[in-house]
Structure 1
């Protein structure tokens, strides 16, 4: 089994799911899109990933706001409403009989091009919309033992050329960072910003615990994480000191605890960074407290809907 924050329990039902493509629900083997699609040709697309628990789309409003913001940033007009998209997600869930421990990926590309080119003026269709919903339950073993990180030489980019907050299909630099980590024997990559401070991971956001304080990056060079935002808010609401600040690997190696956040895995402990053990391995005391606060928030979100 692959180790990492997206480590899920194998579920054979995923071999028979139906996938939404531009209004149609297609069996997984038949779910195909043109090789002239903008996302395939030049990575011209935006996406969101979120969880469904007990029939409820968790933090869906925030995910929709982020998707619409990303589309606006890249100049992509979405010819449908947020309510339309939610209805299509629900249609996909219903077609698959899905209720709990579901992960949904929504992908929107600029559309089909008449010839391979990055120029958006060659687009000859409206946006392509794909919704993939899978049975995905996070591995309890990963939560228990944590993940190891390796600091990549690939830096998180400056906002003036590819803003790290943009949820776009162009993820090659993150893939490169992860490959370095895997080749070094780690599970995921820790990425620094252009000044050498700790920024984020290749697919999650990073937090460390020092004494009774929680530290995370300033947010200038990390992903616009919804789970990250919830963790920061939960700390403030519950009397936990949480600082968004610059800090280096010197600080990180001396952390008492560390964890990463993401929509799929929630809060996952970090047991090792660049071969150096963090805490006693697994989930530390403060990390465990924050994890429980986050689980309570999800329960509240379910009941509020």
Structure 2
């Protein structure tokens, strides 16, 4: 049975979480936004997913960089500084007694509209900012067996249509890709760029391993992934040949290993693409990269704790 890479085993503690909305910490049942909110009406907003390790939202600076870059592109005034958002994140974690095994969704929309219309000038008041934390870990059995991918007909768009660098609430192309992959019995969709080269997955980034080399797409048609960038970094630091380049499905099918990256699951092995199975899952390179990435995560959390005086 197909599963999402974002699947998790239910944690009863999530029933009592408190969610930060515009400066107020509210019980889960009371954490609501208006039907006139721009995010609900039009998907007008930006967001980040963050992983909490040893009490720290790891790679926070990079996540805030991407959030503010997206908000600037949309001419969206978040209304809070980076320092204020970081403080709100930590306030939310403390209120929920959260230290590890936590995933946080930080969401910003343009705020309330006086009428459900796309023009930003129809907004009244300030942006809506939500911090939604959950006790959530990726399923170990899914990571052990690997992901099953299916190449879908839905392409990644050019930046003059819907810029894939923008981590907006408007994800309909990724959703339609996910639906097609799910209907095909796969866990995740593999998406091509407008030229037919491999681009990315619907919610993760995609890599292959060929003859000791690690390949990923050129990056021209995918989100600026933070875990993707970190994997590129650890490869270079470890002396592993790594390339951002165009490659085709033919080269995917004949690869030695494949894996996906994302904030939630880190480095996740792929067991098959379009029915072509890989011999060993996880393969030796994937196992090595999982260990190197885990070291980088722990190092970032330790540096964050030292910087905050914790």
TM-score by length of 2: 0.96
8 Å contact kept, 2:18–2:27: yes
Shift of 1:172: 0.8
Secondary structure of 1:34 counterpart = coil
Partner of 2:142: 142
Q: What secondary structure is seen at the aligned counterpart in 1 of 2:264?
A: coil
Q: How does 1:52-71 map onto structure 2 within 5 Å?
A: 52-71=52-71
Deviations 1:85-141 (A, max 9, x none): 111111111111111111011000001000010000000111000110000112211
Q: Secondary structure at the match of 1:88?
A: helix
SS of equivalent to 1:191 = strand
Aligned counterpart, 2:282: 283
**Secondary structure of 2:15's aligned partner:** helix
Q: Is the partner of 1:29 in helix, strand or coil?
A: helix
Quote how far apart the aligned CAs of 1:2 are: 6.8
**Displacement of 1:16:** 1.3
Contact 2:47/2:107 (CA < 8 Å) preserved in 1? yes
Residue 223 of structure 1 aligns with which residue?
Answer: 223
Count residues with an aligned counterpart: 304
Match of 1:123 in 2: 123
> Is the Cα contact below 8 Å between 1:148 and 1:186 reproduced in 2?
yes
2:94 corresponding residue in structure 1: 94
Partner of 1:8: 8
Q: Which residue of 2 aligns with 1:260?
A: 260
Q: How does 1:100-249 map to 2 (within 5 A)?
A: 100-249=100-249
Work out the CA distance in 2 between the residues paired with 1:165 and 1:145.
30
Alpha-carbon deviation of 1:302? 1.7
Runs of 4 or more, structure 1, over 4 Å off, are none
Q: Which runs of 5+ in 1 are unaligned?
A: none
| C-alpha separation in 1, matches of 2:205 and 2:111 | 30
Q: Deviations over 1:20-72 (max 9, x none)?
A: 11111111111110000001111100000111111111000110011000000
Deviation at 1:4, TM superposition (A): 2.7
CA RMSD of aligned residues (A): 1.0
Matches of 2:38 and 2:158 in 1, distance apart?
24
8 Å Cα contact 2:2-2:186 kept in structure 1: no
Task: Specify the alignment match of 1:77 in structure 2.
Answer: 77
Whether contact under 8 Å (1:255, 1:279) holds in the other structure is no
Separation in 2 of the partners of 1:157 and 1:295? Answer: 32
2: CA distance between counterparts of 1:183 and 1:206? 20
Provide the residue aligned with 1:303 in structure 2: 302
CA distance in 1, matches of 2:133, 2:84: 17
What is the aligned partner in structure 2 of residue 17 from structure 1?
A: 17
Aligned to 1:50: 50
CA 1:114/1:176 → structure 2, altered by over 3 Å: closer, same or farther?
same
Cα distance in 1, alignment partners of residues 4 and 179 from structure 2: 13
TM-score (norm 1): 0.98
CA distance in 1, matches of 2:82, 2:7: 30
How far the C-alpha of 1:9 sits from its partner, in A, is 2.4
